[in-house]
Amino acid sequence: MVRISTTIYLIDHYANNLNSPMHKASTLSRLMSAIVVLGITIFTNSALALVAEFLIILTFIAAAKLPISRLLSWALYPAFFASLFALSQIPYSLVLPIITIFKAINAALVMLFLISTTPYPELFSILSIPSKTLGNIAFLTYRFFFLFIDQTGERFTVMKARGGLAGSWKTKITNLAHFIGMLFITSFETSESMYAAMKTRGYSGSISHHKKLRQKFGKQDLMPVAFVLCILAIMVVSTFFKAWRVFM
Amino acid sequence: MREIVKVNCIKHRYADATEVSVCGLSFVIHEGERVAILGANGSGKTTMLLHILGILEPTEGEITVFGEPPTKSSLHGKVAMVFQNVDEQIIGPTVWDDIAFSPLNYGHKPDEVKNMVDEMIRELEIQHLTNRVPHYLSGGEKKKVAIAGAVVTHPKLLILDEALTGLDTRSQMETIELLNRLNKKRGMAIAITTHESRIIPRVADVVYVISEGGIIFRGTPLELFQKPEVFRKAGLEPSPLIELLKTLKNQGFEVEVSDDLEEAKRQILKLCKIDSS
């Protein structure tokens, strides 16, 4: 639980506090570049192209001043499950498992690259375009979510410090059930306090504020554009040079 | 001075059947006044504040804010509050967004909101926090952001619930200085609840002491500190400085009881015949 909150905090920290050309790009260009690269990853069936794409993604992650090893370690979670599936493909082909694993890693890396360079409220402010309510939900959940993981972390530490995880499995499960119950009550109280605070600040059911999405495209968007162009170049090369296919 | 808040013996019954009452002396806040509400934990300070804000409605008693019941929408923007746990008050994903929250909800136009927020940020000297994410701020910084978010709409009354509790001495002093500056510059009345008597002289012109469901004292900080029995009754600790000067006076020394540290120092040095200059 503590590990999950640390990961979330780290991603939030990278998105908010790092300063790279990718972080400076407009929300829309980052989001669109990620969608395009994700689409290419899904539809590519060339192992070499996927390996090359993987290397390019890593290059751009480094250029965005993000820690490659950490992002790679997070991307390995889906890769692990993909490898289980890949194992079943080995009797039929040696290339297919490579494609399966790299598709999983690349897709995970692209998404991690996006969320590590784009703060959550900016990313989800796009929801305010189709529905203002969805945008408001995203706006409000951000702070509440971090309050929640803080409370969860604090209570979990207290429970551990008081020996809550030291007894038999039966005791541990009972303590965890109490922990979840207390967490529910605390979260409910927090939401009530937050609502009272919002009421005193004029909240009456709707918020109109998602300024960061409305950035215009410009020079700052060179990096996301370069990212997409590099990936597209690989796909073009892999499609047109039949010689590559000989190896696959 | 015009009365902006008047509370007459209110009682409130919570959903869990707990009954909190604030009776005794009437509670009044005048325009531009700095009021401290002193009381032990659970004495009813926060309950009274929530009534003033219109969040709670009294089961008995009368309360008026700017001459109206506090639940009236005409009071929106006139009264602002900084809660004890500012984490639950800061809603925006960035400091700028959070300060803009109230003006946007009160229907100001985007250009107006931008001007109001930028002005507030300049006034509170928190330009370096503008684009920061609230959960990475220190306690003192969060407090400043919460105050900025509360006073951005230029309220006539700012209510602070235990706003100085949990801050280190430096952050406490900075917050007090900020509040006093806002009070002087804008003529904004301030009501602050606390159980720390030592900060009273710095933040209040008038003090109310709440104990056992009633207001047992109303007066200036100096008048309060000359009555240690009030502190005892309220379960609070009197100011050590005043206690010292009173003891000296009772023992026949020529001193004037004062809550001012510099004045006390001067008097004690004079007694010891040491030239303070």
User: Does residue A5 lie within any of the structural domains?
Assistant: no
Predicted confidence band of residue A115 (pLDDT cuts 50, 70, 90):
very high
Distance from CA of B102 to the nearest CA of A (A): 5
Residue A145, in any domain of the structure = yes
Residues A23 and A111 in one domain: yes
**A196 or A59: which leads in pLDDT:** A59
Q: Which of B133, B126, B243 is nearest to B175 (CA)?
A: B126
Evaluate if residue A4 carries a pLDDT over 60: no
Decide if A107 contacts A41 (C-beta within 8 A).
yes
If 0-12 CB within 10 Å is exposed, 13-18 middle and 19+ buried, where does residue B156 land? buried
pLDDT at res. A68: 93
Tens of pLDDT, residues B125-142: 899 999 888 888 888 899
Q: Is the pLDDT of residue B276 over 80?
A: no
Interchain contact B85–A (C-beta under 8 A): yes
Residue A144 falls within a domain, yes or no?
A: yes
Q: Count CA atoms closer than 13 A to A172's CA, side-chain side.
A: 6
Do A81 and A118 belong together in one domain? yes
Decide if A119 and B104 are in contact by the 8 Å CB cutoff.
no
B128 by Cβ neighbours in 10 Å (0-12 / 13-18 / 19+) ranks as exposed
The strand pair at B214-219 and B206-211 is best described as antiparallel
Confirm whether A6 is domain-assigned.
no
What is the average pLDDT score of chain A? 84
- C-alpha B139/C-alpha B82 separation (Å) is 13
Task: Write down the pLDDT at residue B209.
Answer: 92
What are the C-alpha distances in Å from A189 to residues A142, A195, B48, B60, B134?
A: 17, 10, 19, 25, 20
- Same domain as A179, residue A191: yes
pLDDT tens per residue across span B194-214: 888 888 888 999 999 988 778
Asked if residue A36 is part of any domain, the answer here is: yes
Measured between alpha carbons, how far is A95 from A109 in angstroms, rounded to an integer?
Answer: 21
Q: Does A219 touch chain B (CB under 8 A)?
A: no
Which pTM was predicted? 0.75
pLDDT the model gives residue A90:
80
Same domain, A119 and A228: yes
Task: State the smallest CA–CA distance between residue B238 and chain A in angstroms.
Answer: 32
Write down the pLDDT at residue A10: 87
Query: CA-to-CA distance for A53 and B221, rounded, in angstroms?
Result: 71
**pLDDT above 60: residue A102:** yes
In this predicted structure, what is the pLDDT of residue A59?
95
- Minimal CA separation from B258 to chain A, in Å: 38
Chain B residues 153-172 with CB within 8 Å of chain A: 153
Question: What pLDDT is stored for residue B57 in this prediction?
Answer: 87
Is B237's pLDDT higher than 70? yes
Q: Which of residues 206-235 of B touch A (CB under 8 A)?
A: none
Buried b (16+ CB within 10 A) or exposed e, A177-193: eebeeeeeebeeebeeb
ipTM over 0.85: no
Mean pLDDT to the nearest integer, B160-164: 87
A179 shares a domain with A192: yes
Band of the pLDDT at B121, cuts 50, 70, 90?
very high
Q: Are residue A163 and residue A242 in the same domain, yes or no?
A: no
Poorest-confidence range of A199-208, A219-228, B51-60?
A199-208
Same domain, A119 and A226: yes
Which residue range forms the structural domain that includes residue A156?
A: 126-213
Sign of the torsion formed by the C-alpha atoms of B52, B55, B60 and B64: positive
Same domain, A230 and A199: no
Q: 């207001």: which residue's tokens?
A: B215
**Residue range B42-67: average pLDDT?**
87
Chain A: residue whose CA lies nearest to B54: A200
Domain identity same for A22 and A131: no
A147 near B CB under 8 A: yes
pLDDT at A130 > cutoff 90: no
Nearest-angstrom CA–CA distance, A213 and B203: 42
B87, B101, B136: residue with CB nearest A201 = B101
Sequence-distant (6+) residues with CB within 8 A of A41 are: A50, A53, A103, A106, A107, A110
Position A34 pLDDT exceeds 90: yes
Whether B81 contacts chain A with CB within 8 A: yes
Mean pLDDT, residues B242-249? 83
- A102 vs A93: CA distance, rounded Å: 15
Question: pLDDT at position A133, please?
Answer: 77
For chain B, domains (ranges, CATH) are 3-237 (3.40.50.300), 239-277 (no CATH)
State whether the Cα torsion A17-A18-A21-A22 is positive or negative. negative
Average pLDDT, chain B: 86
Average pLDDT over residues B23-33: 89
Residue A104 included in any domain? yes
State what percent of residues in chain A have pLDDT above 70: 91
Mean of pLDDT values over B87-91: 87
Statement to judge: residues A55 and A74 lie in one domain: yes
More confident residue, A214 or A218: A218
The pLDDT tens digits for A172-181 are 888 889 889 9
Q: Do A201 and B91 touch (CB under 8 A)?
A: yes
Tell me if A7 is assigned to some domain.
no
Both A97 and A173 in one domain: the answer is no
A-facing residues of B in 87-146 (CB < 8 A) are 87-94, 97, 100-102, 104-106, 132-136
pLDDT band at residue A242 under the 50/70/90 scheme: low
Domain membership of residue A48 (yes or no) is yes
Which residues in chain A have Cβ-Cβ distances shorter than 8 Å to B89? 194, 197, 201
pLDDT at position B274 is 66
Give yes or no for residue B97 having a pLDDT over 70.
yes
> Does one domain contain both A149 and A93?
no
What whole-number percentage of chain B has pLDDT above 90?
26
> How many structural domains does chain A have?
2
| pLDDT score recorded for residue A149 | 84
